[in-house]
Chain A
């Protein structure tokens, strides 16, 4: 359904693990095919915008809701009402492109987790449409849900690690569950654990690790298959600011390798620093959708 990334070049480069550094725009060798494609598409879009502006029409960019071929996530009037008339999400329409990095912000109870559960088809929209990777989740058969989830990496505030299993086993579990062959598991698991910087902790149990290290394990598990979409629900919510930065750098590198990242967060400092797209929810509605926004609405806006 979703296109599986080939193991991403950027993540395999050990030198990138030490210090992510600034985005190297010129270095095409470090970027995946998909990222290059996306840039080409970006150029096409800017040109189309310029042309449209000259013709006095609204550009695609100003109408972000029109479906385009490269949408990773597409919501159309998506509404989720929980039993007892509790609003989870109300009439949300938005698009997230392949390769994008998006922050999902808003106070507790504003619908961030509901948004994420819809994408995983843990719950179904009460009305409206939800599409992931071009596939409508409403018509997606139950039997196809596992396939959807194998293409979405998930990272949560509480890590969701299995306490009686080692780091290796926790990551291997994701592959075992998917019915991967043993050779593949034995090759991929140590590789990804090395990439998240936990090679020396591979046989430790989760409770022997710090919070940041546990979160790295959960990221390794989420990314071991190189899914095209990574969803994080407050991944740094339980971590101190120092540790959070390391986690964000790791996720940032994953994003730079071509994976779309959607992150629900309360981390104001991080959002303000990174200046990425920010979708702010309030009582289940989209209150704000800024291309390069801050945690709260910018003063000048």
Chain B
């Protein structure tokens, strides 16, 4: 069996060398398709994860007046705990000191100056979540307007839960993904046709061999397999080229910025690179097989 695979792969490689120019055209097209698909998948998965995170992780913040009395604060806490649909263990009291500490952590050491110069401008707050993220608005409403809460101001609702943020993110991402998908489909069709063309030429170049094969009783799959492998080699070569290009362009263009962005914990991740590579190579195989399969149906009646 081992010798047979060697036989097929050698046949395919020999034939690819034979039509070098068309092979290169097909491989480059696959490469472009896969590059775009790679960007699309990475970006799409990132945005998808990000919007999920935003959606699942909606924390409601109820900001308190600096002048709120202990009694008012206790009353607000009681109302929140007794509101149906609130995640009981999610309730957290953030004092003014906690808030400024948190901000300093996010901004780094230098920001200690901030407190020294400005005092502490941050309000104390209650943070809590709804059990069901979709119920966030309802739950938030139950707390709204309680005495002791900061009154809402234009652009600064209170309680605040980033209303509509997830939807806006998803909508933008959807549009981008759709555009990439459309480009990908058009280019994938081009790739299938170009691989088909390579295979057609190689069927033509080897028609004598095919004739002899049939004559000596080669089975259909035996006649077709070298051409199939040829197409799949084109597809995989393009996919590998694309992953290399993706890795290189990520390293040179994006890596620094992404690392900075990732520094804050809990950032959403894009698809893992190894998984992306596997996906692209499988897609390359598929495009190659499709291209040669369709061509053989037309030009290689056995």
B-contacting residues of A (Cβ < 8 Å)? 120, 142-143, 146-151, 154, 160-163, 173-174, 176-179, 182, 221
Considering the complex, give the chain A residue whose CB is closest to the CB of B211. A160
B7 proximal to A (CB < 8 A): yes
Considering the complex, give the chain A residue whose CB is closest to the CB of B209. A162
Say yes or no: B209 contacts A149, CB within 8 Å.
no
Known A143-B219, A154-B216, A177-B216; 18 more pairs at CB < 8 Å = A143-B220, A149-B215, A150-B216, A150-B217, A151-B217, A160-B211, A160-B212, A162-B209, A163-B208, A176-B7, A177-B213, A177-B217, A177-B222, A178-B216, A178-B217, A179-B4, A182-B3, A221-B216
CB distance from B57 to the nearest CB of A (A): 59
User: In B286-302, which residues have CB < 8 Å from any A CB?
Assistant: 302
B102 proximal to A (CB < 8 A): no
Closest 7 A-B residue pairs measured CB to CB? Answer: A150-B217, A149-B217, A177-B218, A174-B216, A146-B217, A146-B219, A182-B3
CB distance from B225 to the nearest CB of A (A): 11
A–B complex contacts, Cβ < 8 Å, 30 sampled: A120-B215, A142-B220, A146-B214, A146-B217, A146-B218, A146-B222, A147-B217, A148-B217, A149-B214, A149-B216, A150-B217, A154-B215, A154-B216, A160-B211, A160-B215, A161-B212, A162-B208, A162-B209, A173-B212, A174-B216, A174-B217, A176-B7, A177-B213, A177-B216, A177-B217, A178-B216, A178-B217, A178-B218, A179-B4, A221-B216
A-contacting residues of B (Cβ < 8 Å)? 3-4, 7, 208-209, 211-220, 222, 302
Query: A120 to B220, alpha carbons, bound, how many Å?
Result: 15
Specify which chain A residues have a CB less than 8 angstroms from the CB of B302 in the assembled complex: 142
Specify which chain B residues have a CB less than 8 angstroms from the CB of A148 in the assembled complex: 217
Interface centre among B3, B216, B220, B302 (most CB of A within 10 A): B216
Considering the complex, give the chain A residue whose CB is closest to the CB of B223. A177
Considering the complex, give the chain B residue whose CB is closest to the CB of A178. B217
Query: A178 to B213, alpha carbons, bound, how many Å?
Result: 9
Specify which chain A residues have a CB less than 8 angstroms from the CB of B220 in the assembled complex: 142-143, 146
Query: A178 to B212, alpha carbons, bound, how many Å?
Result: 12
Considering the complex, give the chain B residue whose CB is closest to the CB of A122. B214
Query: A160 to B209, alpha carbons, bound, how many Å?
Result: 9
Specify which chain A residues have a CB less than 8 angstroms from the CB of B211 in the assembled complex: 160
Specify which chain A residues have a CB less than 8 angstroms from the CB of B213 in the assembled complex: 177
Query: A177 to B222, alpha carbons, bound, how many Å?
Result: 7
CB distance from A133 to the nearest CB of B (A): 14
Query: A161 to B212, alpha carbons, bound, how many Å?
Result: 8
Considering the complex, give the chain B residue whose CB is closest to the CB of A176. B7
Interface centre among A146, A147, A162, A173 (most CB of B within 10 A): A146
Specify which chain A residues have a CB less than 8 angstroms from the CB of B222 in the assembled complex: 146, 177, 179
Specify which chain B residues have a CB less than 8 angstroms from the CB of A182 in the assembled complex: 3
Considering the complex, give the chain B residue whose CB is closest to the CB of A177. B218
Considering the complex, give the chain B residue whose CB is closest to the CB of A182. B3
CB distance from B253 to the nearest CB of A (A): 47
CB distance from B206 to the nearest CB of A (A): 9
Specify which chain A residues have a CB less than 8 angstroms from the CB of B215 in the assembled complex: 120, 149, 154, 160
Query: A179 to B220, alpha carbons, bound, how many Å?
Result: 13
Query: A95 to B222, alpha carbons, bound, how many Å?
Result: 33
Query: A179 to B222, alpha carbons, bound, how many Å?
Result: 9
Interface centre among B4, B212, B214, B217 (most CB of A within 10 A): B217
Query: A148 to B215, alpha carbons, bound, how many Å?
Result: 10
CB distance from A138 to the nearest CB of B (A): 18
CB distance from A38 to the nearest CB of B (A): 25
Considering the complex, give the chain A residue whose CB is closest to the CB of B11. A176
Interface centre among B212, B214, B220, B222 (most CB of A within 10 A): B212
CB distance from A3 to the nearest CB of B (A): 16
CB distance from A19 to the nearest CB of B (A): 30
Say yes or no: B218 contacts A162, CB within 8 Å.
no
Specify which chain B residues have a CB less than 8 angstroms from the CB of A177 in the assembled complex: 213, 216-218, 222
Interface centre among B4, B7, B219 (most CB of A within 10 A): B219
Query: A142 to B4, alpha carbons, bound, how many Å?
Result: 23
Query: A160 to B215, alpha carbons, bound, how many Å?
Result: 10
Query: A173 to B302, alpha carbons, bound, how many Å?
Result: 18
Considering the complex, give the chain B residue whose CB is closest to the CB of A181. B3
Considering the complex, give the chain B residue whose CB is closest to the CB of A165. B209
Query: A174 to B213, alpha carbons, bound, how many Å?
Result: 7
Specify which chain B residues have a CB less than 8 angstroms from the CB of A154 in the assembled complex: 215-216
Query: A86 to B134, alpha carbons, bound, how many Å?
Result: 77
CB distance from B214 to the nearest CB of A (A): 7
